[in-house]
Homo-oligomer: A and B are copies of this chain.
Amino acid sequence: MDYQNIRVVAFDADDTLWINETIFNATQEKFAGLLEQYVPRELLMQHLYKTEVRNLEYFGYGIKGFILSMIETAVELTEGLIKGGDIQMIIDWGRDMIAHPVELLPTIRETLQKLHGQYELVLITKGDLMDQESKLARSGLADFFKHIEIVSDKSSVQYQEILQKYDYRPEEFLMVGNSLKSDIMPVLEIGAEAVYIPFESTWEHEKIDLTPDQKSRFESLENMAQLAEQLSGLKG
């Protein structure tokens, strides 16, 4: 890939800059434990996933919607027998998730430090507004970014709006993220560049299958250090 024209590097946040899916997975495991007397693990996970996806149009992405979907799933699968104290516990888990320390992925700070000054850096993330703002503040990374965009969804429409808002041309814009569905494909669709850095775990809803032709249109890297090397080499 040729990044010679790139002037703006945009980063996804959850599972690109810091750990996120891991925290959801750990809570799901507790949830499975809580309901194991009522329902087999596999069935529970399937039902939870269906509930989450159905609720996306009402509650959007983020922890609050996840808590509500766990509660709904618990009520439905126990046929209303779930105890009040267990519901309370689910809400407590949600607050724990929100208060969870921000754990940066390896080499993130060094990478941003290296690219900052060479490129205009932008953060584009989806999820609950306050939660994302709080994580960014606690990450200590906020000052690296010229613009912060917290959006309700990441389709090509949203990317198009961001590019227009800041007057970025597609050919000078590179998006870096861990989700093919949210960070890579919609960005390629509007004619910009994208670099895929997968995280160890991906939420089912973010998974998509690509054709070989689609795969050939972007680069996959193993970690952020590789990105820093490639990009900062260009400005050397």
Contact = CB atoms under 8 A, between A and B. Distances in A.
A87 B75 contact: yes
How many copies of the shown chain assemble into the complex? 2
Interface size class of A (residues with CB under 8 A): 35 or more
12 contacts: A58-B98, A58-B99, A59-B98, A60-B129, A64-B68, A80-B83, A82-B84, A128-B128, A129-B129, A129-B151, A130-B153, A133-B152
A66 to B, nearest CB: 10
Interface string A30-59: 000000000000000000000000000011
A131 B152 CA distance: 9
A107 interface: no
Interface stretch (A9-17, A88-96, A172-180, A207-215): A88-96
A88 B79 CA distance: 11
B81 A84 contact: yes
